Amino acid sequence: MIKLALIDDDPIFTRVLSRAMADRDYDVVVCNSIDEGREMAARSWADAVLLDLNIEGNNGSVLIDDFRVANATTKVVILTAYGCVKSAVWAAKCGAADFVTKPIDAEEIDFALKRALGLPAQMPELSTPPQEVREAHIIEFFEKNDRSVSPTARELDIHRRSLQRILHRLGFNRTNEPARKVTAFRRARRMMRLWSSTLSPHRKTARLGHSRYRKGFLQA
Kindly report, residue by residue over 127-169, the tens digit of the pLDDT: 555 566 667 768 877 888 888 888 888 877 788 888 888 888 8
Of the pLDDT bands very low, low, confident and very high (cuts 50, 70, 90), residue 80 is: confident
pLDDT given at position 175: 40
Q: Is the pLDDT of residue 122 over 90?
A: no
Kindly report, residue by residue over 37-71, the tens digit of the pLDDT: 999 999 889 999 999 888 877 778 889 889 988 98
Least confident of 4-8, 24-28, 130-134, 198-202: 198-202
Given a contact cutoff of 8 angstroms between Cβ atoms, the answer to whether 61 and 96 are in contact is: yes
Q: Is the pLDDT of residue 106 over 90?
A: no
Enter the pTM of the model: 0.57
* φ, ψ for residue 58, nearest 5 deg: -105, 155
Domains of the chain are 2-117 (3.40.50.2300), 128-201 (no CATH)
d(CA 155, CA 201): 58
Closest CA to 172 of 197, 190, 209, 145: 145
Kindly report, residue by residue over 164-209, the tens digit of the pLDDT: 888 888 888 654 444 444 455 555 555 555 555 555 454 444 444 4
CA distances, 106 to each of 14, 109, 170 (Å): 11, 5, 28
pLDDT given at position 2: 93
